[in-house]
Amino acid sequence: MQKIFRNNAFLMVLSFLLSQPFLSADSLELAKEKHNTMAEQSTANIEVYSHVVVGRVLDIVTKKPVMSASVEIKDFLSDNKQVAYSDKSGQFTFRLEGGKQYRLTTLNNTGEIEDAKTISTIGAEPIIQVLLFWKTNIEQPVVLKRGTKNEIKSDNTASPIKKETEKVKKEKVVYRIQAGSFSKGGHNSAAARIDKSLTIKSETTNGGMIRLMVGEFSNVSDARKLSHDLQKKGFAKAFVVVYVDGLRTNLTATQAEQKYENR
């Protein structure tokens, strides 16, 4: 009966392995050896160590194997721990008991977790494959020639770096209110209804219409107040116009406030 159990278990594991492209030939042989070792034990031990984890540690950027990476696996309930180190192909293996859950981690040299996975042997296949990723950049050592110092040569031809204290020129932002757009001559009667203490200017469009522009403010809140006052006086279409360095823009008052007044 025990012999039949071992043969059936091996055939099941072998069939599973051959269908998986993830494992290398070396890993396949290693998994076979582990299974054969378990099969030679007593029936009780076979039931205890019923699963094998075969994994690899890869660099998350280059996807190349990470050699000598520390890998730990802990039983969630008993906290029993196994430790292994990845080989030159980044591979590692663990034997596990059935019907349990484990936490699998790979650690860097400072003990920080690079990656972690939960492994369950509850109803799982005998061979469990897993990939762990190494997120920390692996620094390459700097090799200096004999007789030289670790110095950075200066390039005298390089452009001098400007001092941080130099100020960046800011655009001049002005807010005016367009009271309306009128045909030629109509803007004069409209301007007569506006407070003479305010700055009043006119702009001619390509279509020959004349825009009546009122006020000149450095902040949008004052411009909005005047726009509301003009609307109450009959200029229902009055709105704030934004000028940057003397040029009219299509920015709304809110957009200009966010872009220029909060800098």
Q: Is residue 158 part of a domain?
A: no
Tens digits of per-residue pLDDT, 155-174? 445 445 444 434 445 678 99
Q: What is the mean pLDDT of residues 49-67?
A: 91
Q: Average pLDDT, whole number, for the chain?
A: 77
pLDDT score, position 184:
79
Give mean pLDDT, residues 228-233. Answer: 93
Supply the CATH number for residue 230's domain: 3.30.70.1070
More confident residue, 164 or 57: 57
Q: What band does 136 get if pLDDT is binned at 50, 70 and 90?
A: low
pLDDT score of 9:
54
Over 70: is that where the pLDDT of 253 sits? yes
User: Which residue's entry shows tokens 């825009």?
Assistant: 211
For residue 191, give its domain range: 173-261
Q: What is the pLDDT of residue 117?
A: 93
What's the confidence (pLDDT) of residue 18? 47
The CATH number that applies at residue 6 is 2.60.40.10
pLDDT for position 36: 58
Is pLDDT of 85 > 80? yes
* Residue 167: predicted pLDDT: 44
With respect to residue 190, please indicate whether it lies within any of the assigned structural domains. Answer: yes
Q: Are residues 116 and 6 in the same domain?
A: yes
Return the pLDDT at 230. 93
In a domain, 31, yes or no: yes
**Overall domain count for the chain:** 2
